[in-house]
């Protein structure tokens, strides 16, 4: 404190001092409230809605919500009856589903309990203090550019901190299965990172590291193979009993009867009917929000002939953030939209399972003795209709293990023979089921040969618990935001391609496959645009009003996910953008941003855009904006197109056009220019790999490589660009 301040406090009287302290206290209170208190009046939906990984007491509750310790040592300590913990980290739900199956299988073999746990539910900083010899099983997926899923970030940070502090995990025994796609550059990186860190820290690995490759839908087969390979070693280490045959349920579905006055004391106010679930107090993720649609248009509508009648409808949707004043986004971020299962699939599955008449009955999902409450992550109590419409992924791929396990639920030899014919050989299963993209209701109908309505008496008596235990939870779909906040920070746009594919099967009628989330958005676009029934595309019909009409009037449940796929902070930096199909969506935002900056007087560097589509006349997205960009940015903007179908000759893909622009591309990416430009690739992983292969060939044949590091290969040069964030990729699928 300086002299002036000191002299002031020495001259004020005691009454002044008391008053000053009182005023200071009040000011500090309001400052604190502004920092830690609510920033705005939150809507009911904002308070309720968040991802199912962080569900309320209705689901398998986290240790926090149950008042238990988060210390992992307390779960596997000497006083615990837990023999194994199956930890999962998942962005899309696949790892969680496989973890649940792992738990079910081990429960049959261990004399102690086996539990399933979300990695984010426990604190691992005390893991070196583990005294017991419990087995830790990790089932983890890799997300984005080699990143851990949201609920795996803290675990990875904990392992890194333990390594930094030179702690040891000598008493830890583990095995692991990773889920990835070898089309991606960072295939199964999260699993490899965890495995390496655990070994470095002294943990003992049991069995091989399992790697699931979804490139050809092979994750399921890889998982089964991994379990078989490591099973003997785990059995020997943990002294397992012989595995029991047959299905052993881990949950019990209990009907809840109304009392005489029509209420269910202690239950009715908590019945899950599909409404959003609240966020956990420990969640490090922002709450989901409800976004109203403010604009909707169909960019293209195309139908392809042939045996498989395919329709493609690309829609552009705009939403308002006005109701969420604290929510912001940046160019390049994602909007994650929660889908709703189509009415036809919900009805078909309820019928084929024989629970149509009980669809609105309230049931409680209760763990059977030996099953951890935290391993049950289905909202309870709930109505069956709400679970199948809003919670469970009933349209996703059906696993061979799930289908094969149905044999014990029938005495009909014809049905057993059909199941064996479908599941006995992995190649046959892929050809007959996976490649056909059958939903659960469709494949059950195929197996039991029921009537079209599904109301016929089924010879399969499938326990409802078997279905609930094996189905994944419905997950949000990420869409690259195709707008820039520089134009309007309260407006957000996405681009979605809705696909419907009519498939023929000799023993059934025509089966129509539809993308769930994209066709949900297509119906919203049609409802918002008041499309006439004559011109309306078949979307499968969704209950777009949502649970309890919370989405009435054209709204969606969503949340914004941050991305590293962003344009340079300096607009003068030259950039190359390569996108195919809806992969042009983020580049619409990139170009909009540069146009706005140019209009504000900023210098904008070279902006090269290479887009690939099927047909110039039928599905060329945002061509009007590219024309505006040309007029606004002038010579700084260059557009190149590649069309692989239609009448344009020659038929080209983006890498074909890229190869003809070698000088332009390498000038921007020149290795001897530290402040050089950047390349962005967005679209299918197959396209992205083709672009990088083309880029490597261009560099290898160029004289510019002499200016790079001596002996540097093309692959090393490309990895160097990625390391410097001068080559960024956002790819998906095949």
Q: Is the pLDDT of residue 4 over 60?
A: no
Q: Output DSSP code: residue 473.
A: B
Do residues 717 and 705 lie in contact, with contact meaning Cβ atoms separated by under 8 Å? Answer: yes
Q: Is the pLDDT of residue 654 over 80?
A: yes
Query: What CATH code would you report for 575-732?
Result: 3.40.50.80
Domain 59-238 CATH superfamily: Flavodoxin domain (3.40.50.360)
Q: Is the pLDDT of residue 451 over 50?
A: no
Question: Is 561 strand, coil or helix?
Answer: strand
Distance CA 340, CA 274 (A): 10
* Environment class of 278 (CB within 10 Å of its CB; exposed 0-12, middle 13-18, buried 19+): middle
pLDDT at 243: 58
Distance CA 548, CA 135 (A): 44
Least confident segment among 206-215, 364-373, 400-409, 543-552 = 364-373
Per-residue model confidence as pLDDT tens digits over 628-653: 999 999 999 999 999 988 777 788 99
Q: Any long-range contacts for 424-430 (C-beta under 8 Å, 24+ apart)?
A: 426/221, 426/400, 429/400, 429/403, 430/216, 430/217
Integer CA distances (angstroms), 252 to 376, 582, 696, in order: 11, 44, 57
pLDDT at 377: 77
Question: Is 84 strand, coil or helix?
Answer: strand
Integer CA distances (angstroms), 671 to 75, 207, 689, 698, in order: 52, 44, 21, 13
Residue found under tokens 């890889």: 222
Q: What is the pLDDT averaged over residues 366-374? A: 70
687 CB neighbour count, 10 Å cutoff:
23
460 CB neighbour count, 10 Å cutoff:
19
Equal CATH topology for 59-238 and 343-364+382-470:
no
Residue ranges per domain, the chain? 3-36, 59-238, 295-339+476-561, 343-364+382-470, 575-732
pLDDT at 650: 80
Domain range 295-339+476-561, its CATH number among 3.40.50.2000, 3.30.1330.60, 1.10.3720.10, 2.40.30.10? 2.40.30.10
Distance CA 335, CA 618 (A): 26
Strand partners, 88: 118, 139
Handedness of CA 354, 357, 359, 362 (dihedral sign): negative
- What interhelical angle do 585-599 and 623-633 show, nearest 10? 30
Per-residue model confidence as pLDDT tens digits over 683-732: 998 899 999 999 999 988 876 655 555 567 888 888 888 888 899 999 88
User: Cα-flanking dihedrals φ and ψ of residue 128, to 5°?
Assistant: -60, -20
Q: What is the pLDDT averaged over residues 383-406? A: 92
Per-residue model confidence as pLDDT tens digits over 192-230: 999 999 999 999 998 889 998 887 667 888 888 887 777
Do residues 159 and 194 lie in contact, with contact meaning Cβ atoms separated by under 8 Å? Answer: yes
Least confident segment among 100-114, 256-270, 443-457 = 256-270
Q: Which residue has the higher pLDDT, 82 or 718?
A: 718
DSSP run (H or E) holding 304: strand 289-304
pLDDT over 70, % of the chain: 76
Distance CA 48, CA 289 (A): 9
| Tokens coding 359 | 């669809």
Per-residue model confidence as pLDDT tens digits over 124-133: 988 888 876 6
Q: Is the pLDDT of residue 514 over 80?
A: no
pLDDT at 499: 82
Topology of domain 343-364+382-470, per CATH? NADPH-cytochrome p450 Reductase; Chain A, domain 3 (1.20.990)
139-161 per-residue burial string, b: 16 or more CB within 10 A, e: under 16: bbbbbbbbbbbbbbbbbbebbee
pLDDT at 449: 66
DSSP run (H or E) holding 524: helix 516-528
Q: Output DSSP code: residue 275.
A: P
Phi-psi region of 317 (alpha: psi -120 to 50; beta: other; left: phi over 0): beta
Per-residue model confidence as pLDDT tens digits over 6-39: 333 333 444 444 444 554 554 444 434 433 333 3
Least confident segment among 234-248, 443-457, 485-499, 716-730 = 443-457
pLDDT at 641: 94
Strand partners, 496: 315
């Amino acid at each position: 404190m300086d002299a002036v301040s000191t002299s002031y406090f020495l001259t004020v009287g005691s009454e002044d001092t008391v008053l000053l302290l009182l005023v200071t206290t009040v000011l500090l209170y309001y400052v604190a409230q502004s920092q830690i208190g609510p920033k705005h009046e939150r809507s009911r939906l904002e308070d309720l809605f968040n991802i199912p990984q962080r569900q309320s007491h209705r689901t398998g509750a986290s240790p926090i919500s149950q008042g238990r310790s988060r210390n992992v040592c307390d779960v596997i300590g000497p006083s615990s009856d837990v023999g194994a913990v199956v930890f999962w980290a998942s962005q899309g739900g696949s790892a969680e589903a496989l973890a649940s199956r792992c738990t079910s299988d081990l429960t049959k073999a261990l004399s102690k309990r086996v539990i399933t746990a979300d990695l984010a539910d426990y604190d691992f900083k005390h893991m070196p203090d583990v005294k017991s010899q419990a087995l830790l099983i990790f089932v983890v997926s890799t997300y984005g550019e080699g990143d851990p899923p949201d609920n795996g970030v803290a675990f990875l940070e904990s392992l890194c901190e333990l390594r930094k502090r030179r702690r040891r995990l000598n008493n830890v025994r583990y095995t692991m299965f990773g889920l990835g796609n070898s089309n991606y550059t960072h295939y199964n990186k999260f699993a490899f990172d965890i495995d390496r860190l655990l070994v470095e820290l002294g943990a003992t690995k049991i069995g091989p590291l399992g790697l699931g490759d979804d490139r050809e839908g092979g994750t399921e087969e890889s998982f089964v193979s991994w379990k078989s390979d490591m099973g003997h070693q785990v059995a020997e280490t943990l002294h397992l009993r012989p595995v029991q045959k047959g299905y052993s349920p881990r949950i019990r579905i209990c009907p809840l009867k109304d009392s005489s006055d029509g209420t269910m004391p202690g239950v009715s106010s908590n019945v899950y009917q599909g409404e959003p679930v609240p966020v956990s107090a420990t969640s490090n993720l922002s709450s989901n929000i409800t976004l109203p649609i403010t604009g909707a248009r169909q960019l293209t509508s195309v139908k392809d002939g042939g045996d498989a009648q395919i329709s493609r409808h690309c829609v552009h949707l705009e939403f308002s953030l006005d109701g969420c004043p604290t929510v912001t986004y940046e160019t390049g971020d994602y909007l994650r939209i929660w889908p709703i299962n189509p009415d036809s699939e919900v009805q078909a599955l309820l019928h084929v399972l024989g629970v149509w008449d009980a669809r609105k009955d309230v049931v409680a999902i209760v763990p059977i003795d030996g099953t951890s409450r935290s391993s049950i992550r289905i909202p309870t109590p709930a109505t069956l209709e709400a679970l199948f419409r809003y919670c469970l992924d009933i349209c996703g791929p059906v696993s061979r293990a799930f289908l094969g396990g149905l044999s014990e639920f029938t005495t009909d030899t014809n049905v057993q023979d059909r199941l064996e014919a479908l599941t006995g050989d992995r190649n046959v299963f892929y050809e007959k089921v996976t490649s056909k993209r059958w939903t659960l209701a469709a494949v059950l109908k195929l197996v039991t040969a029921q009537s079209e309505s599904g109301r016929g008496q089924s010879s399969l008596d499938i326990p409802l618990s078997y279905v609930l235990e094996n189905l994944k939870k419905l997950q949000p779909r990420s869409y690259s935001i195709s707008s820039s906040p520089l134009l309007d920070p309260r407006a957000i746009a996405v681009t979605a391609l809705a696909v419907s594919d009519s498939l023929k099967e000799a023993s059934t009628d025509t089966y129509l496959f539809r993308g769930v989330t994209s066709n949900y958005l297509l119906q919203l676009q049609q409802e918002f645009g008041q499309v006439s029934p004559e011109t309306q595309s078949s979307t499968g019909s969704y209950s777009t009003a949502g649970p309890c009409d919370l989405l009435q009037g054209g709204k969606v449940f969503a949340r914004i996910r941050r991305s590293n796929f962003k344009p340079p902070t300096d607009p003068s930096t030259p950039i190359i953008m390569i996108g195919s199909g809806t992969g042009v969506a983020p580049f619409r935002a990139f170009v909009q941003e540069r146009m706005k900056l140019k209009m504000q007087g900023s210098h904008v560097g070279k902006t090269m855009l290479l887009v690939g589509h099927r047909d110039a006349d039928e599905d060329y997205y945002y061509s009007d904006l590219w024309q505006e960009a040309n007029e606004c940015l002038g010579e700084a903007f260059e557009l190149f197109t590649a069309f692989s179908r239609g009448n344009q000759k020659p038929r080209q893909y983006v890498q074909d056009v890229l190869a003809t622009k070698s000088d332009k591309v390498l000038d921007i990416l020149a290795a001897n220019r530290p402040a050089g430009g950047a390349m962005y690739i967005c679209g299918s992983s197959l396209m992205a790999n083709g672009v990088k292969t083309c880029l490597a060939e261009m560099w290898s044949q160029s004289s510019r490589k002499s200016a790079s590091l001596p002996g540097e290969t093309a692959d090393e040069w490309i990895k160097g660009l990625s390391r410097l964030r001068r080559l960024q990729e956002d790819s998906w699928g095949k």
